Amino acid sequence: MNNKKTLINTALLTAGTAAYLYVQNTKFQVSRYAVPIKKLAPENEGLKIAHLSDLHFPYTKINLDALIKTLKKEQPDLIFLSGDQMDAAEPERTAEAHAFLKRLPDIAPTYAVEGNHDNKVKNHTHIYQGTGVTYLDNTAYSVMLSGRKPVVVMGVPEPSPFGKVQKDFLAKMTIRPDWAGQTRLLLAHRPELFKKYHADASKAPDVVFSGHAHGGQIRIPGIGGLFAPGQGRLPKYTAGVWALETDPTKHLVISRGLGPSHFPFRINNRPELIIATLENHS
C-alpha cells in the first residue's frame, strides 16, 4: 500500500514539475513599465514601445501567433528588437525568423540591433531584407510618429570580441544638431554596458533597451537571476527598469527574453514581452 502511494505521489510530482517547466518555457507574459523621461514632449506622453529580445530562432518555443495577437491588441507606437533574433547554432535556418519579422511592421514601425548570436551568423542582416524592419548599425534616426513629436531611435551593434575595449560605444553614432531636445531611445543588446552607453553626454540616450541576460535563467525571489553571460554569478542587470547611478533621469529597460538559451530550462522566469510607456519625469 505504501509503495503504491509513493508511486502515485512520485507520478503527481513528476507531472506537476513537467507542467510547471512547460509553462515557464513556452508561455510568455507581458510586463508593463512606466519609464520617466526628463523634459518629455507633452505629445509623447504615453508613447508605447513593445520590447522583444532574444527570440533565438529557430529554437523559439513560444506561440508566435499569440505573440502577434498580443502586439496587435497593445497597439504600440514602436517595436524594438534588442538582439539575438537568430541562434548561432543553426545559422542557415533563417526562414522562421524572416517570416516572423515580416509580420511586425504592419503593427508598428520596427527597429532591430544584433546580439552576440546574430554576430556569429554570417551575413545575418539578410534576414531583415524585405521585412520592413529597420536594422540599426551605429545608426540613428529621428522618427516621426502620428500625433507625436519626433524621437531619436538609435542602435549599436554587438562589440567585437577581437576589438579593443571600447570606452564609448556611441563613438560612431551621428546625432544631428537639429535633433536637440528629442527623446533618445537606444537599442543595445548588452545591459552590463549600461554606463558605457553614456560616456559621451552629447549623445547619451534617455532610455536603453537591452536583453542578453535571459533574466538570469533561474530567478530567486528577493535575489534575482543566478547567472548571466558577461556578468557571471548573481548578476546585477537581468530584468526590469534601472536608473543610471550618475544620472537617475537616464534608464535601462531589460527584457528577460522570449527564446531559450543553452541552459535547458527557465525557472521562475517565463519568456517576457515588455510594454514600456514613456511618461514625463516629475
Q: What is the pLDDT of residues 92-102, one digit of tens each?
A: 889 999 999 99
What residue numbers bound the domain in which 46 lies?
2-280
pLDDT for res 49 = 98
Reply yes or no on whether the pLDDT at 183 is more than 70: yes
The string of pLDDT tens digits covering residues 120-130 is 887 788 999 99
Other beta carbons within 10 angstroms of residue 28's beta carbon come to: 22
Whether residue 280 has pLDDT greater than 70: yes
Which amino acid is located at 128 in the chain? Answer: Y
Q: What is the CATH number of the domain that holds 48?
A: 3.60.21
Give the list of residues 6+ apart from residue 105 with CB closer than 8 angstroms, or none: 79, 131, 132, 133
What pLDDT is recorded for position 168? 86
- The predicted model scores a pTM of 0.93
pLDDT over 70 at 40, yes or no: yes
d(CA 185, CA 13): 46
Is pLDDT at 164 greater than 60 in this prediction? no
| 267 pLDDT tier (thresholds 50, 70, 90) | confident
Q: How high is the pLDDT of residue 247? A: 95
How much is the average pLDDT of 66-73? 98
pLDDT value of residue 62: 95
Residue 261 has pLDDT above 90, yes or no: no
Residue 255 is classified by DSSP as: -
Q: Give the span between the Cα atoms of 150 and 41, in whole angstroms.
A: 9
Give the whole-angstrom CA distance, residue 248 versus residue 242: 9
Q: Check residue 18 and give its pLDDT.
A: 60
Structurally, how many domains does the chain consist of? 1
Q: Are 220 and 235 in contact (CB under 8 A)?
A: no
